[in-house]
Chains A and B, each alone.
Chain A
Amino acid sequence: DIQMTQSPSSLSASVGDRVIITCRASQSISSYVNWYQQTPGKAPKLLIYAASILQSGVPSRFSGSGSGTHFTLTISSVQPDDFATYYCQQNYRNPLSFGQGTKLDIK
C-alpha cells in the first residue's frame, strides 16, 4: 500500500501569510495527488486534483505542485476561511490513501 506523509501536522499563521504544506508518497505516484480542505463538522472539499489543477470555484490563492514522491499545497495569502484541516490523497493505485492531515489555525 502507498503511504502518504504530510508535514507539518499543524501550523499557525496570520491572515495574509504564505503557507506551504508538504506531502510525501512512499513510492513514485506520478501526479496522482489531490488536495482536500475540511472544516469542523463538514465534509471535505476538493481543492486541487492531478497535483496542480485547480478545481472549479476554488480561489486562485491555492496552488499545488510536485510529481513523483514530493508534493506541495501553497496558499499564497491566507484568508479567514482558510483556517481548516488539509489532506493530500493519492489516487495512483488502490487502496486510495490520505495523508494524516495538516491543521492550519490562527496565530
Chain B
Amino acid sequence: QVRLVQSGAEVKKPGSSVKVSCKTSGDTFTSYSVSWVRQAPGQGLEWMGGITPILDRTDYAQKFRGRITVSADESSSTAYMELSNLRSEDTAMYYCARGSGIRINDAFDMWGQGTSVTVSS
C-alpha cells in the first residue's frame, strides 16, 4: 500500500524558514514526481512546485521562485520542501502529492496527510 507520510506541524517566526518532509513507502520512489500544494485556512489549493527525482528536475510556480527549494533523497524515499523568508500569508496546510508518472504535471494520485505551518511573531 502506497503511503506518503509528512513531518509534523511547525510554528515559525516571520523571516525564518521551514522545511517539510514527505516520506514515500510502498512503491518505487523514482518512478513518480512529487509536488507541493498548499491550502491557506478556508481557501483553495495552490501548487507551489515539484520534482522528478529520477531526473533531479524541479519546477516552481513563479510566485515562489527565490523562496522555495524542492529536493529529494532517493536513499530514504523522501521529498522535501523548504520555504524561506516566511510571512504571515504563508500560514497554511502544506501537502505533498505524488504524480501518477514521472512528469511534474501528471495528475496527483496520492497525497500526504498535510503539515500545518503557522507563521506568527
Residues of A near B59 (CB, < 8 A) are 94
Given contacts A43-B95, A43-B114, contact A98 B108 (CB under 8 A): no
Check if B35 sits within 8 Å of A96, measured CB to CB.
yes
Given contacts A94-B59, A95-B61, contact A46 B109 (CB under 8 A): yes
| B113 contacts A by Cβ under 8 Å | yes
Given contacts A43-B95, A43-B113, contact A98 B107 (CB under 8 A): no
Check if B111 sits within 8 Å of A43, measured CB to CB.
yes
Give the number of residue pairs across the A-B interface with Cβ within 8 Å: 59
| B84 contacts A by Cβ under 8 Å | no
Contacting residue for A87 out of B45, B61, B105, B107, CB 8 A:
B45
CB distance from A44 to the nearest CB of B (A): 6
CA distance A36 to B63 in the complex (A): 23
Check if B44 sits within 8 Å of A99, measured CB to CB.
yes
Q: Tell me what chain A mostly uses at the interface: helix, strand, loop, or mixed.
A: loop
CB distance from A19 to the nearest CB of B (A): 19
A-B contact pairs, 19 of them (CB 8 A): A1-B62, A36-B108, A43-B114, A44-B45, A44-B108, A49-B109, A87-B45, A91-B106, A92-B105, A94-B61, A94-B105, A95-B47, A95-B61, A96-B47, A98-B44, A98-B45, A98-B46, A98-B47, A99-B44
| B53 contacts A by Cβ under 8 Å | no
8 extra interface residue pairs, beta carbon distance < 8 Å, beyond A36-B108, A98-B46: A38-B45, A43-B114, A46-B107, A87-B44, A91-B107, A92-B105, A96-B47, A101-B44
Q: Which single residue of chain B is at the shortest CB-CB distance from A49?
A: B107
Contacting residue for A96 out of B95, B105, B114, CB 8 A:
B105
| A97 contacts B by Cβ under 8 Å | yes
CA distance A93 to B59 in the complex (A): 11
Interface set of A (CB-CB < 8 Å, partner B): 1, 32, 34, 36, 38, 43-46, 49-50, 55, 87, 89, 91-101
Interface string of B93-121 (1 = CB under 8 A from A): 00101001000111111011110000000
The 3 closest A-B pairs by CB, nearest first: A43-B111, A49-B107, A95-B61
Given contacts A87-B45, A98-B46, A99-B44, contact A55 B109 (CB under 8 A): yes
